[in-house]
C-alpha cells in the first residue's frame, strides 16, 4: 500500500499502523493472492480500448456523480457473498479449517476439492458438544451449577493422570455452546471453583480453556491438511495415496525403536501425503491520502481506495484503478507485464463490489498486512459507502484479524514474521519482515521503483506498482515449488490447527496444540500448570552457565580473539531434542511418582537431584524424539538424494523443514514458563545434559590436540532483587560479584543467595564479570527499563529474543515481585530515610592518610531540613543546618564522627555505594512504606498537575524499590527517559485502581556504546529478572575447532555418537574466522568469498545509505583475504574506502546528495506531544511544520546533521538550500558501523589512516 498526496484534509481521526502492529512502513507489505478469471460487471456500458497486449476497461458512472455518503443503487447486482455449498456427497477433498457456527450451534469444516478447485462445507452431524472436566462428583456439580443459566449435563468418566501414572475418575460437564463452558463471568468454568481460607480462588475445572474448534478437531481425530470425503452426509477420512514400499522402508527404519511403534501410523500419512496446488488470489490496495508518508486509519477509512491489485496462480492479473481528476494515463514502463489488465472505475463503490465478488470465489485470499490494513480498510470503506455488508461484503472482522465468510484469508505478514519460519524453514533468507526484504531474499526481485512522488503517479505506473505488490505476495507462496503453501499445510497436519490459526499463531501454539491432541488421543488428562507445580519442584537444582538461557544451558566457551584460518564448525545436531529422546525427558517422567525410579542410581541427572522414569516412555520425549529421528534419518538425507525423483525430493525437503521447525523450537517452548506443560525439573534436566555434553566434547577435542576457539551481559548498575537469609534487597548486579577490579572473573556464590525470576526465587550459583567493547541497547516501556549488551537475550513468551531484533511496539513481559511485608517501622524514621534517598549524600574517604567522613542532606526548604533534624535528634543523632550562598541549605554533621554515615549505610549498596531502598523498608508495612515514599517525594517530587507527581533518578536500584512500593500502594506509574540526561529515568505517578501485570509495549529503543565491565548471573533456573520492572533476562550448541584434520573431525564425530548418543555434524569450514573478544561476535569468510557476519552490526534501517554502501565495500575487501599478509593489503584498501567517504563528506570529491546522507526516524507521536527536550528527528519535524509540511504521528522524518544551531536539516529543505554538514557526526556513525568488524580482524579504526599492526593476532 502506498499513499497519494492531496491538499484536502478529510474528516475522521488518523492513526498509523502502530495501532495494530509494530512501527513499520506499510509500503513494505506484500503476499499475492488469487482471483477468478471473470470480466468485471457494471451497471452501465463498458468502453474497451486495446493497446499493445493489455486491455484498459473504462467503467463509466451514471451521468450524475454519486456523493460519497449517499446510498449506492445495488438493484442490478446479481451476486451474494458467502454462499456455502453443503453437499451430501463429496469426493476426497483437503480439510483446510474447522470452525464453529453460532446460529447452528455446530462445528463445521471447510474442504477444498482439488478437482473443482473450490471450497465445500460440512456441518457436524455427530452431536458433539462443548465440555470440560472437573474433579467434583456429578452431584456436587449439580449443586454448584444451580444458578447457571443454560442447559448442561454431567457424566462420570475415567481418564489417565500422567503426573501420577494412574487412572482418575472425573466428571465431564457438557454444555450446548462454547460460551457456556468459558468466556464470561457466569460460565461453567467460573462457577467450578473453591475458595482457600485466604480468599484465593482455586479452579476445579480442567480443559476448559481450549477453543471449541480445536477441542472438536482433537476429539474427532481430524487432521487439517489431509483428505476427507463426505459420504451420505458424514465426514470420512480418505486413505492417503502413499507408496506402500516406501512406507514399509520408513517403518522398518524404526524396527528397533520400541518407543515409536504406537505413533508410526499416526504420523506416516502426514509426512508422505503430498499437497496439491490450491487455487488462490493475492490482493493489495492503495489508498489516497492528503498527507505523504502517513498511513490512513483502517478503522475509519476516510479516504478513497485508489487501486486494487489482484493476481492469482492461474494467470489472472488485473488492477482496478479509480479515476480521479488531473491524473494522466502515463506511459508503460520497460518492465510493464504484457498479460496485465488495468480496469478503470469512476465509481469507488462499484470497484469495491467487483473486488468482493471476485475474492469471494477463491478458496484462499492472500495479503500482506491484510489483517491490520487491506481487508480492514476495505471493510470499513464499504461501510462508509453504504454498501449492503450482509449481502455483498465477504469480509468479517475479529480482534486483530480479518476473515472471510466463505474462503480463507492468509496474512503472510503474520506467518513470515514468525522467527521459526524465517530462521529454520527459510534459513534466514530475509532480515526484515517487509515485502521488499522478503521478495529480495526469496525471489531475488523487489518492489517497483517509482519515478516520482506517489502523489503524482500516472495511472499505468500506479496500477503496475499496486499489482506487483499483489503478484509478489503470490510469488512468495509459489517460491521453490510452492514451498510456503506446502509448509503451511504440513504444519497444519502436525499441529492439528486450521489454516487461519497456523498462519497467525507462533510455534508455541503449534506445539501446544500438538501435545493437546496426543493427550486427547490417549485419554490423558491435560494437566494445568498448578497440577505440575504441585507434584514437581518449582525450584531448579542447577544454574545457567550462560545468561541467555532460562535454565542452566550449554556452556559458552571464551573465544580466543584473533584471526584463525581453516576453522571448522562442528554442530550438535538437534542437541536438546536428542537429549529429550535419549534420556526420556518429559514433564511426567522427570521426578516421576514411581518409588522404584526414585531409589535407582542409574537414572540421575548430572549436577542435580532429579531422576528419570524407567517405567514408561515420556509423552514429549516420544513425540519430539520421533520427529528428530524422522528428520535426520530419512527426510534430511533423502531430500538431497539425486537418485530419487525430483518431485519426491522436493516434497521431502518440505517435510524436513517442517520437522526442523518443530524439533529446533521444542525445547525453547517446553522450557518456557507460559507453556501449559512447563516443568522446571524437566527443563533444567535437558540443559544439564547439554552442558555435560559440551564440556566433554571440549575435553575430548583438546585431548586429541585440537584447539577449541569458541564455544552474555548487563550493565553494572542493573538492579536485581535478591534474598539473603530471608531478607530481600534490591541492589546493582555488580554488588553480587564483589571483585570489581577482576575482569573476566567468575565468582562462585557460596552463600545462601537467591534472585527473583519468572518462577519465583532461584539460587544464584555464579556471578560473571568481563570487560567488553560492544554495542548495548536501552529498552524502555511505560513500566520497565533495562540496559543490555547486544547479545544478551530477553525472554519473551518463552523464547529468547535478541535486543537487536526488537522494535518499538513489540510487547515484552515482566515478572514483578509483590511486596507484602508487615513490619511496622517508625513513620518518622521511614520519612527521613525517604528524604535522604532523594536529597542525601554520604561517604567515607581518605585525605592525607586520614579517614574522613562526609554526610549531608541538601534542600532549599529549611522547614523540611528542620523536620529531618528533629527526627534524627530523637534517635540520638545531632545535626546542624548551614545556609549556602547558592540559595540551598544543608543538613550536616556537627562533629567529625561517622555515626550518621554508619546510620545511613543501609541506604546504599555495599559495594558500589549506589542508593537503594533499605531492606527494612522493603519488608515494612504499607503505612511505613507510604511514609518513606512521602519523604522521598518531599525531597525530589515535582507536581506537574493536580493529579500527577513525578521524580527522577540515576540510581536504578533505588527506582526499582520505589516503583515496587508504588505498586503495593496502588499507584499507577509510567517511566520515561530524559534526552538531555542520558542515564536519568523519570517516574510519573498517580493514584489508580490496583495494578494488573500484563505485557508491555516498547516505547523506546536506543543503541549505545559499551567500553567497560558488564555482569551476568548463573541461576538455578537459567533466568533472572533485571532492570526496572522485572524484565526476564537469559548458550551455544556449536564448537569452533582450529584447523582440525579430516581424521580428527571423523574421530570426534564418532566419539560423540558412541559416548554421548548425540550426532556431531560438520556444519561449515571457513577460509578464516575472525573472533572478537565478545562472545557470539565473529566474521566468517567462506572459500567462495561469502562473508558471514554474526552479532556485528552493519546495516540498520536508519543508517545513511552512504555508510551502508561503504560497509558493503569493506566486506567485499575482507572476503578476498587469503593469508595473514593479506590483511595488510586489505587494510590499505579499506583505508581507501574510508578516505573516499571522507573526501566526499568534506567536498573534496563529488559530495553526497542529501538523500544519501539522510537519517530516517519515525515520529511515534505528534510534535506537540514531545517534551521540552526534543530529539533530532523531532527538531527536524518542527522545521518542516514551520515550512507548511504536515507532520503527524507515523511520519518518517528524513534529515541530515548540520553544524548550525539547529543541528539538523530536513531533506526537503536541504534539497533547496546550502548547509554546513557536521562531518564529525557522520564520521562517528561510520566508525560505529566499521569499528566492530575491523576490531575482529585486528584493525583499529582510530589508527586506520595511520599505521596498525596485526602482529598481536598471529
Question: What CATH number is associated with residue 1178?
Answer: 1.10.132.60
The mean of the pLDDT values for the chain is 82
Note whether residue 150 is domain-resident: no
pLDDT of residue 344: 96
As given in the structure block, the three cell numbers for residue 236 are 470420512
pTM over 0.75: no
Query: Residue 1161 above 60 pLDDT?
Result: yes
pLDDT of residue 793: 66
Total Cβ atoms within 10 A of residue 943: 10
pLDDT bucket at 797, cuts 50 / 70 / 90: low
| pLDDT tens-digit map of 85-104 | 999 999 999 999 999 998 89
Integer Cα distance of 776 and 714 in angstroms: 9
Mean pLDDT, rounded, for 1185-1191: 82
Which residue, among 782, 784, 813, has the nearest Cα to 974 in the 3D structure? 782
User: Do residues 406 and 460 share a domain?
Assistant: yes
| pLDDT tens-digit map of 129-145 | 999 999 999 999 999 99
User: Do residues 897 and 803 share a domain?
Assistant: no
Query: Residue 1243 above 80 pLDDT?
Result: no
Question: What CATH number is associated with residue 887?
Answer: 3.10.28.10
**How wide is the angle at C-alpha 284 spanned by C-alphas 278 and 286, nearest 5°?**
170
| Candidate ranges 66-70, 567-571, 877-881, 1252-1256; pick with highest mean pLDDT | 877-881
- Per-residue H/E/C for 641-701: CCCCCHHHHHHHHHHHHHHHHHHHHHHHHHCCCCCCCCCHHHHHHHHHHHHHHHHHHHHHH
Note whether residue 225 is domain-resident: no
Q: Tell me how long the chain is.
A: 1258
pLDDT bucket at 942, cuts 50 / 70 / 90: low
pLDDT of residue 558: 52
1037 three-state secondary structure: coil
Query: Residue 61 above 70 pLDDT?
Result: no
**How wide is the angle at C-alpha 529 spanned by C-alphas 523 and 530, nearest 5°?**
105
Domain count, the chain: 4
**Helix (H) or strand (E) segment spanning residue 899:** helix 899-903
pLDDT bucket at 515, cuts 50 / 70 / 90: very high
Among 1-15, 246-260, 315-329, name the one with the lowest average pLDDT: 1-15
| pLDDT tens-digit map of 1108-1144 | 888 888 888 888 888 878 888 888 888 888 889 888 9
User: Do residues 1163 and 1253 share a domain?
Assistant: yes
Query: Residue 1201 above 90 pLDDT?
Result: yes
**How wide is the angle at C-alpha 696 spanned by C-alphas 695 and 697, nearest 5°?**
90
Query: Residue 33 above 50 pLDDT?
Result: no
% of the chain exceeding 90 in pLDDT: 40
Note whether residue 1198 is domain-resident: yes
pLDDT of residue 669: 78
pLDDT of residue 394: 95
Mean pLDDT, rounded, for 218-241: 95
* Backbone φ/ψ region at 377: left (φ over 0), alpha (ψ -120 to 50), beta: alpha
Find all residues with CB under 8 Å of 726, minimum gap 6, and list them: none
The residue with greater pLDDT, 1043 or 643, is: 643
User: Do residues 327 and 399 share a domain?
Assistant: yes
User: Do residues 1107 and 1244 share a domain?
Assistant: yes
DSSP per-residue letters across 202-221: EE-EES-SS-HHHHHHHHTT
User: Do residues 381 and 477 share a domain?
Assistant: yes
The residue with greater pLDDT, 888 or 1194, is: 888
β-pairing verdict for 341-345 and 54-59? parallel
pLDDT of residue 17: 25
Please enumerate, as own/partner, the contacts of 42-51 that have beta carbons within 8 Å and a separation of 24 or more. 42/350, 43/73, 43/76, 43/77, 43/350
User: Do residues 986 and 905 share a domain?
Assistant: yes
Find all residues with CB under 8 Å of 325, minimum gap 6, and list them: none
Query: Residue 1180 above 60 pLDDT?
Result: yes
Mean pLDDT, rounded, for 1163-1181: 84
Integer Cα distance of 456 and 447 in angstroms: 18
β-pairing verdict for 811-812 and 1031-1033? unpaired
DSSP state of 173: E
Q: Quickly tell me which residue has 446479481 as its cell.
A: 78
| pLDDT tens-digit map of 581-616 | 999 999 999 999 999 999 999 999 988 889 999 999
Note whether residue 1136 is domain-resident: yes
Among 678-687, 707-716, 819-828, name the one with the lowest average pLDDT: 707-716
Integer Cα distance of 821 and 1223 in angstroms: 57
| pLDDT tens-digit map of 627-667 | 999 998 999 989 989 999 999 999 999 999 999 889 888 87
Note whether residue 760 is domain-resident: yes
User: Do residues 306 and 408 share a domain?
Assistant: yes
Beta strand residue intervals within 491-620, DSSP E: 562-565, 567-572
The residue with greater pLDDT, 897 or 415, is: 415
Burial class (CB in 10 A: 0-12, 13-18, 19+), 696: middle
The radius of gyration computed from the CA coordinates of the chain, to the nearest angstrom, equals 33
Integer Cα distance of 689 and 676 in angstroms: 23
Query: Residue 860 above 70 pLDDT?
Result: yes
β-pairing verdict for 850-859 and 889-893? antiparallel
Note whether residue 932 is domain-resident: yes
| pLDDT tens-digit map of 1206-1230 | 899 999 999 888 899 998 888 888 8
Total Cβ atoms within 10 A of residue 1038: 18
Note whether residue 786 is domain-resident: yes
Query: Residue 838 above 80 pLDDT?
Result: yes
Torsion angle defined by CA atoms of residues 834, 837, 839 and 840, in that order, rounded to the nearest 10 degrees:
120
Note whether residue 666 is domain-resident: no
pLDDT of residue 11: 33
Contact 270, 247 (CB under 8 A): no
CA 773 to chain centre: 26
pLDDT of residue 561: 60
Integer Cα distance of 893 and 900 in angstroms: 7
Mean pLDDT, rounded, for 1043-1067: 82
| pLDDT tens-digit map of 396-411 | 999 889 999 999 999 9
Rounded to 5 degrees, φ, ψ at 371 are -60, -45
User: Do residues 464 and 323 share a domain?
Assistant: yes
User: Do residues 1243 and 1106 share a domain?
Assistant: yes
Query: Residue 690 above 60 pLDDT?
Result: yes
| pLDDT tens-digit map of 886-938 | 778 888 888 767 788 888 888 888 777 888 999 999 999 999 999 999 999 88
Which residue, among 591, 659, 650, 578, has the nearest Cα to 621 in the 3D structure? 578
Query: Residue 48 above 70 pLDDT?
Result: no
Domain that holds residue 721: 712-816+997-1035
Integer Cα distance of 532 and 530 in angstroms: 5
pLDDT of residue 1152: 93
User: Do residues 758 and 807 share a domain?
Assistant: yes
pLDDT of residue 741: 43
% of the chain exceeding 70 in pLDDT: 82
User: Do residues 1199 and 1258 share a domain?
Assistant: yes
Which residue, among 937, 958, 961, has the nearest Cα to 948 in the 3D structure? 937
pLDDT bucket at 311, cuts 50 / 70 / 90: very high
pLDDT of residue 943: 59
Domain boundary among 963, 991, 1019: 991
pLDDT of residue 560: 58
pLDDT of residue 494: 96
pLDDT of residue 531: 94
Mean pLDDT, rounded, for 671-686: 85
pLDDT bucket at 12, cuts 50 / 70 / 90: very low
Mean pLDDT, rounded, for 862-868: 91
| Candidate ranges 322-331, 363-372, 814-823, 1125-1134; pick with highest mean pLDDT | 363-372
Question: What CATH number is associated with residue 393?
Answer: 3.30.420.10
Please enumerate, as own/partner, the contacts of 642-645 that have beta carbons within 8 Å and a separation of 24 or more. none
Question: What CATH number is associated with residue 746?
Answer: 2.170.16.10
179 three-state secondary structure: helix
The overall longest dimension of the chain from CA atoms, in Å, is 102
Total Cβ atoms within 10 A of residue 342: 24
pLDDT of residue 212: 96
The residue with greater pLDDT, 292 or 361, is: 361
Among 25-39, 678-692, 706-720, name the one with the lowest average pLDDT: 25-39
Amino acid at each position: 500500500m502506498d499513499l497519494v498526496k492531496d491538499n484536502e484534509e478529510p474528516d475522521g481521526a488518523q492513526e498509523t499502523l502502530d495501532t495494530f502492529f509494530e512501527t513499520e512502513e506499510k509500503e513494505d507489505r506484500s503476499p499475492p493472492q488469487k482471483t477468478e478469471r471473470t470480466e468485471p460487471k457494471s451497471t452501465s456500458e463498458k468502453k474497451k480500448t486495446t493497446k499493445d497486449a493489455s486491455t484498459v476497461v473504462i467503467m463509466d458512472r451514471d451521468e450524475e456523480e454519486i456523493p460519497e455518503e449517499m446510498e449506492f443503487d445495488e438493484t442490478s447486482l446479481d451476486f451474494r457473498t458467502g454462499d456455502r455449498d453443503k453437499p451430501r456427497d463429496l469426493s476426497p477433498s483437503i480439510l483446510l479449517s474447522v470452525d464453529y457456527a453460532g446460529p447452528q450451534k455446530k462445528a463445521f469444516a471447510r474442504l477444498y476439492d482439488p478437482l473443482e478447485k473450490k471450497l465445500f462445507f460440512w456441518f457436524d452431524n455427530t452431536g458433539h458438544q462443548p465440555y470440560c472436566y472437573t474433579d467434583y462428583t456429578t452431584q456436587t456439580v449439580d449443586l454448584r451449577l444451580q444458578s447457571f443459566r443454560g442447559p448442561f449435563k454431567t457424566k462420570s468418566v475415567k481418564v489417565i493422570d500422567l503426573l501420577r501414572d494412574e487412572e482418575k475418575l472425573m466428571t465431564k460437564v457438557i454444555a450446548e455452546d462454547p460460551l457456556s463452558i468459558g468466556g464470561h463471568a457466569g460460565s461453567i468454568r467460573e462457577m467450578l471453583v473453591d475458595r482457600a481460607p485466604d480468599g484465593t480462588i482455586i479452579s476445579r475445572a480442567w480443559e476448559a480453556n481450549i477453543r471449541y474448534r480445536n477441542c472438536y478437531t482433537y476429539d474427532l481425530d481430524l487432521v487439517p491438511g489431509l483428505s476427507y470425503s463426505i459420504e451420505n452426509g458424514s465426514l470420512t477420512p480418505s486413505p492417503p495415496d502413499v507408496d506402500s514400499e516406501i512406507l514399509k522402508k520408513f517403518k522398518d527404519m524404526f524396527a528397533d525403536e520400541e518407543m515409536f511403534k504406537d505413533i508410526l501410523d499416526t504420523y506416516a500419512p502426514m509426512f508422505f501425503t503430498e499437497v496439491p496446488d490450491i487455487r488462490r488470489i493475492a490482493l493489495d490496495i492503495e489508498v489516497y491520502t492528503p498527507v505523504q508518508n502517513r498511513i490512513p486509519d483502517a478503522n475509519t477509512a476516510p479516504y478513497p481506495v485508489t487501486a486494487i491489485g489482484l493476481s492469482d496462480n492461474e494467470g489472472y492479473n488485473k488492477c482496478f484503478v479509480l479515476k480521479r481528476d488531473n491524473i494522466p494515463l502515463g506511459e508503460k514502463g520497460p518492465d510493464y507485464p504484457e498479460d496485465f489488465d488495468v480496469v478503470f472505475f469512476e465509481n469507488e463503490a462499484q470497484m469495491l463490489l467487483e473486488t468482493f465478488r471476485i475474492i469471494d470465489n477463491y478458496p484462499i485470499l492472500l495479503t500482506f498486512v491484510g489483517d491490520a490494513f487491506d481487508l480492514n480498510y476495505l471493510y470499513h470503506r464499504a461501510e462508509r459507502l453504504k454498501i449492503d455488508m450482509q449481502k455483498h461484503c465477504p469480509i468479517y472482522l475479529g480482534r486483530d484479524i480479518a476473515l472471510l465468510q466463505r474462503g480463507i484469508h492468509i496474512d503472510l505478514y503474520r506467518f513470515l514474521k514468525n522467527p521459526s519460519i524465517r530462521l529454520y524453514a527459510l534459513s534466514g533468507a530475509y532480515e526484515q519482515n517487509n515485502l521488499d526484504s522478503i521478495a529480495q531474499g526469496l525471489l531475488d526481485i523487489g518492489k517497483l521503483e517509482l519515478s516520482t512522488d506517489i502523489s503524482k503517479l500516472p495511472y499505468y505506473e500506479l496500477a503496475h506498482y499496486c499489482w506487483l505488490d499483489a503478484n509478489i505476495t503470490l510469488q512468495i507462496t509459489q517460491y521453490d515449488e510452492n514451498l510456503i503453501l506446502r509448509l503451511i499445510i504440513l504444519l497444519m497436519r502436525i499441529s492439528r490447527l486450521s489454516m487461519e490459526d497456523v498462519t497467525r499463531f507462533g510455534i508455541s501454539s503449534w506445539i501446544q496444540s500438538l501435545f493437546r491432541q496426543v493427550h486427547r488421543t490417549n485419554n490423558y488428562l491435560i494437566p494445568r500448570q498448578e497440577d505440575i507445580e504441585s507434584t514437581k519442584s518449582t525450584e531448579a537444582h542447577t544454574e545457567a552457565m550462560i545468561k541467555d538461557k532460562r535454565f542452566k544451558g550449554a556452556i559458552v566457551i571464551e573465544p580466543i580473539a584473533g584471526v584463525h584460518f581453516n576453522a571448522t564448525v562442528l554442530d550438535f545436531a538437534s542437541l536438546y531434542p536428542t537429549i529429550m529422546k535419549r534420556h526420556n525427558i518429559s514433564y511426567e517422567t522427570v521426578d516421576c511418582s514411581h518409588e522404584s525410579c526414585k531409589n535407582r542410581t542409574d537414572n540421575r541427572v548430572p549436577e542435580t537431584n532429579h531422576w528419570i522414569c524407567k517405567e514408561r516412555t515420556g509423552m514429549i520425549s516420544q513425540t519430539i524424539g520421533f520427529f528428530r529421528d524422522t528428520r535426520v534419518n530419512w527426510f534430511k538425507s533423502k531430500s538431497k538424494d539425486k537418485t530419487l525423483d525430483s518431485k519426491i525430493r522436493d516434497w521431502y525437503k518440505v517435510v524436513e523443514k517442517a520437522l526442523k521447525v518443530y524439533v529446533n523450537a521444542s525445547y525453547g517452548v517446553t522450557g518456557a514458563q507460559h507453556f501449559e506443560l512447563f516443568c522446571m525439573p524437566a527443563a533444567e534436566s535437558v540443559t544439564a545434559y547439554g552442558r555435560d555434553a559440551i564440556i566433554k566434547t571440549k575435553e575430548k577435542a583438546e585431548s586429541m590436540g585440537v584447539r577449541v576457539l569458541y564455544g552474555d551481559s548487563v550493565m553494572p548498575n542493573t538492579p536485581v532483587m535478591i534474598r539473603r537469609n530471608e531478607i530481600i534487597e534490591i541492589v546493582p548486579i555488580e554488588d553480587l560479584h564483589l571483585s570489581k577490579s577482576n575482569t573476566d572473573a567468575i565468582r562462585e556464590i557460596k552463600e545462601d543467595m537467591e534472585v527473583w525470576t519468572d518462577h519465583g526465587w532461584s539460587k544464584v550459583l555464579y556471578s560473571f564479570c568481563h570487560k567488553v567493547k560492544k554495542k548495548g541497547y536501552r529498552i524502555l516501556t511505560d513500566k520497565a527499563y533495562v540496559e543490555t549488551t547486544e547479545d544478551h537475550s530477553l525472554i519473551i513468551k518463552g523464547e529468547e529474543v535478541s535486543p537487536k531484533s526488537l522494535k518499538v511496539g513489540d510487547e515484552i513481559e515482566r515478572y514483578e515481585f509483590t511486596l507484602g511485608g508487615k513490619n511496622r517501622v517508625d513513620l518518622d524514621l521511614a520519612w527521613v530515610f525517604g528524604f535522604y534517598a532523594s536529597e542525601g549524600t554520604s561517604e567515607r574517604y581518605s585525605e592525607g592518610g586520614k579517614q574522613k567522613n562526609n554526610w549531608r542532606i541538601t534542600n532549599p526548604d529549611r522547614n523540611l531540613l528542620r523536620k529531618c533534624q528533629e527526627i534524627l535528634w530523637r534517635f540520638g543523632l545531632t545535626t546542624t543546618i548551614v545556609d549556602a550562598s547558592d540559595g540551598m541549605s544543608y543538613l550536616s554533621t556537627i562533629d567529625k564522627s561517622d555515626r550518621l554515615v554508619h546510620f545511613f549505610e543501609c541506604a546504599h549498596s555495599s559495594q558500589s555505594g549506589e542508593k537503594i531502598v533499605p531492606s527494612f523498608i522493603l519488608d515494612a508495612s504499607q503505612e511505613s512504606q507510604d511514609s518513606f515514599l512521602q519523604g522521598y517525594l518531599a525531597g525530589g517530587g515535582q507536581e506537574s498537575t493536580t493529579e500527577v507527581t513525578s521524580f527522577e533518578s540515576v540510581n536504578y536500584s533505588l527506582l526499582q524499590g520505589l516503583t515496587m512500593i508504588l505498586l503495593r500502594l496502588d499507584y499507577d506509574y509510567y517511566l520515561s527517559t530524559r534526552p538531555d540526561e542520558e542515564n536519568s529515568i523519570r517516574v510519573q505517578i498517580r493514584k489508580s485502581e490496583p495494578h494488573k501485570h500484563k505485557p508491555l509495549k516498547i516505547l523506546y529503543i536506543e543503541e549505545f556504546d559499551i567500553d567497560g565491565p558488564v555482569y551476568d548471573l548463573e541461576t538455578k533456573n537459567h533466568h533472572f529478572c533485571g532492570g526496572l520492572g522485572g524484565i526476564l533476562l537469559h548458550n551455544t550448541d556449536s564448537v569452533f575447532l582450529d584447523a582440525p584434520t579430516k581424521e580428527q573431525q571423523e574421530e570426534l564425530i564418532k566419539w560423540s555418537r558412541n559416548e554421548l548418543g548425540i550426532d556431531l555434524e560438520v556444519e561449515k569450514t571457513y577460509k578464516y574466522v575472525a573472533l572478537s573478544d565478545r562472545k557470539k561476535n565473529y566474521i566468517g569468510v567462506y572459500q567462495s568469498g561469502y562473508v558471514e557476519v554474526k552479532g556485528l552490526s552493519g546495516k540498520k534501517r536508519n543508517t545513511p545509505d552512504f555508510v551502508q554502501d561503504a560497509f558493503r565495500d569493506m566486506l567485499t575487501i575482507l572476503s578476498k583475504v587469503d593469508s595473514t599478509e593479506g590483511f595488510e593489503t586489505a587494510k590499505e584498501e579499506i583505508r581507501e574506502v574510508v578516505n573516499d567517504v571522507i573526501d566526499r563528506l568534506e567536498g573534496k570529491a563529488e559530495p553526497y546528495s542529501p538523500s544519501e546522507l539522510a537519517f530516517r526516524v519515525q515520529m511515534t507521536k505528534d510534535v506537540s506531544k514531545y517534551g521540552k527536550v526534543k530529539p533530532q528527528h523531532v527538531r527536524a519535524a518542527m522545521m518542516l511544520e514551520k515550512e507548511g509540511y504536515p507532520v503527524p504521528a507515523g511520519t518518517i522524518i528524513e534529515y541530515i546533521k548540520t553544524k548550525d544551531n539547529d543541528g539538523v536539516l530536513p531533506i526537503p529543505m536541504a534539497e533547496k538550500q546550502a548547509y554546513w554538514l557536521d562531518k564529525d557526526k557522520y564520521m562517528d556513525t561510520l566508525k560505529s558501523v566499521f569499528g566492530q568488524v575491523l576490531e575482529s580482524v585486528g584493525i583499529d579504526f582510530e589508527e586506520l589512516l595511520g599505521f596498525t599492526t596485526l602482529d598481536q593476532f598471529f
